[in-house]
């Protein structure tokens, strides 16, 4: 089990990915922060199921934030 993972990616903006307590298939907490080149309509999305216990996604203007609790590992 890995305590902390971090990765960045650039594609129409800059994305930052964080993972805490990462196991083989699941992680306790995963978060991402994005700064995009293009603005979009602000929205909030709350999800449950589909490989995660609970997730929330917030997007406002050119900034996005995503948090998942007890979910399948992202590509980190």
- pLDDT digits over 15-73, tens only? 999 999 999 899 999 999 999 999 989 999 999 998 899 999 999 999 999 999 999 99
Parent domain of 36: 2-72
Number of folded domains that form the chain: 1
Confidence of residue 76 (pLDDT cuts 50, 70, 90): low
Can you say whether the dihedral through the CA atoms of 5, 26, 63, 15 is positive or negative?
positive
Q: Could you write out the three-class secondary structure of the chain?
A: CEEEEEEEEECCEEEEEEEEEECCCEEEEEEEEEEEEEEEEEEEEEECCCCEEEEEEEEEEEEEEEEEEEEECCCC
Distance of CA 7 to the CA centre of its chain: 11
pTM, 2 dp: 0.82
């Amino acid at each position: 089990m890995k305590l902390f993972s971090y990765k960045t990616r650039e594609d129409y903006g800059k994305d930052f990915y964080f993972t805490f307590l990462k196991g083989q298939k699941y992680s306790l907490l995963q978060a991402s922060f994005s700064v995009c080149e293009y603005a979009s309509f602000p929205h909030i999305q709350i999800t449950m199921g589909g490989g995660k216990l609970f997730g929330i996604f917030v997007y406002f203007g050119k900034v996005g934030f995503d948090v998942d609790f007890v979910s399948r590992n992202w590509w980190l």
